[in-house]
């Protein structure tokens, strides 16, 4: 089978498609024949230098496919089931491949309304949005939620999740993407390139800090007792600064979670959540996918078709 592996740290050119043996699922694991694999910013962050130890290793976590075999003790799935998920994160999963093994409880049945390509774009970004807004911030109806980079992978899903919770959603995006963000359900969209967002937005209950450097810039938009959820580890110092200045702030790292995946499935089934795909590339063009993603201009998700 094909698998993307890197033998050194560096740019997209370090990603090589090689032939390896098909893995065997261990106890409580399933073997998934991969149909599509999502691409996320964490993939190139790990590729260039952090989190998985010394090469060789394989990045990639988002996966959608068909169960090809089940290991001992698995009761959730059978051969032929269509599944999706984010196995093993933040440990190595190797989702850029023809086959991947995964703990069965890191997966859920694929929503019937989504193609494998769409489903592969949902797990990491969708779980991030759900866990930040629902598990950590406990967003409730009527609250005002600020989602910077609202047209991006996490952002476009977070807007929809917040709306499904009954929130008033303010998104930031460049002017050409305003119609897209409004189409997701955002109540307001602010041009982040030409406007000082911090001076234009106020009375925010929850700030979803999707990009490093946003906390100090946007903390002034919060109401007293407002909540900051930071999704970028580079903001650890800003989180401490926020707490020291009397704000409620947390840094959150997404986790595999069957129940949260199934909550996303319910939103999809109810027509409240959709996955926008910016670009689909074949597995052999994984370097191009990373190069495109690192430019930070995509609308929605980049996915590898396997």
**Per-residue pLDDT tens for 123-176?**
999 999 999 999 999 999 999 999 999 999 999 999 999 999 999 999 999 999
Residue boundaries of the structural domains of the chain: 2-122+275-305, 125-251
Q: Which of 263, 283, 282 is nearest to 273 (CA)?
A: 263
pLDDT score, position 208: 96
* Nearby residues of 140 by Cβ (< 8 Å), 6 or more positions away: 165, 166, 167
In this predicted structure, the answer to whether residue 111 has a pLDDT above a threshold of 80 is yes
d(CA 11, CA 29): 32
Q: What is the mean pLDDT of the chain?
A: 95
d(CA 261, CA 256): 8
- Extract the tokens encoding 77: 């799935």
pLDDT score, position 246: 87
The pLDDT tens digits for 183-196 are 999 999 999 888 88
- Extract the tokens encoding 44: 């190139």
The pLDDT tens digits for 179-225 are 999 999 999 999 988 888 888 899 999 999 987 778 888 999 999 99
125-251: CATH topology: Rossmann fold (3.40.50)
In this structure, are strands 82-85 and 107-109 parallel, antiparallel, or unpaired? antiparallel
Please state the CATH superfamily assignment of the domain spanning residues 2-122+275-305 in this structure: Medium-chain alcohol dehydrogenases, catalytic domain (3.90.180.10)
| Arithmetic mean of pLDDT, 114-124 | 98
In sign, the C-alpha dihedral spanning 166, 167, 168, 169 is negative
In this predicted structure, the answer to whether residue 234 has a pLDDT above a threshold of 70 is no
pTM: 0.96
CA-to-CA separations, 22 to 32, 49, 82, 151, in angstroms, rounded: 10, 27, 19, 37
């Amino acid at each position: 089978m094909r698998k993307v592996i890197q033998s050194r740290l560096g740019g997209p050119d370090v990603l090589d498609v090689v032939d390896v043996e098909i893995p065997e699922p261990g106890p409580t694991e399933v073997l998934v024949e991969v149909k599509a694999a999502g691409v996320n910013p964490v993939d190139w962050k790990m590729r260039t230098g952090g989190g998985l130890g010394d090469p060789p290793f394989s990045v990639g976590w988002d996966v959608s496919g068909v169960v090809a075999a089940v290991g001992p003790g698995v009761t959730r799935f059978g051969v032929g089931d269509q599944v999706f998920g984010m196995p093993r994160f933040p440990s190595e999963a190797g989702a850029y491949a023809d086959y991947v093994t995964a703990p069965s409880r890191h997966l859920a049945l694929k929503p019937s309304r989504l193609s494998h390509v769409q489903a592969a774009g949902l797990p990491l970004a969708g779980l991030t949005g759900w866990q930040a807004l629902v598990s950590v911030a406990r967003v409730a109806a009527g609250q005002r939620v600020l989602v910077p980079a609202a047209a991006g992978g996490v952002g476009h899903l977070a807007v929809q999740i917040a709306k499904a919770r009954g929130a008033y959603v303010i998104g930031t995006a460049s002017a050409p993407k305003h119609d897209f963000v409004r189409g997701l359900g955002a109540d307001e969209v602010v041009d982040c390139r030409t406007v000082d967002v911090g001076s234009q937005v106020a009375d925010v209950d929850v700030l979803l800090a999707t990009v490093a450097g946003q906390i100090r810039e946007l903390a002034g938009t919060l109401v007293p007792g407002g909540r900051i959820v930071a999704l970028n580890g580079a903001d650890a110092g800003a989180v401490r600064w926020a707490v020291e200045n009397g704000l409620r702030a947390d840094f959150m790292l997404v986790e595999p979670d069957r129940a949260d995946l199934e909550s996303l499935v319910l939103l999809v089934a109810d027509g409240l959540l959709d996955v926008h795909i910016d670009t689909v590339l074949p597995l052999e063009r994984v370097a191009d996918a990373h190069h495109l993603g690192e430019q930070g201009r995509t609308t929605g998700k980049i996915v590898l078709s396997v």
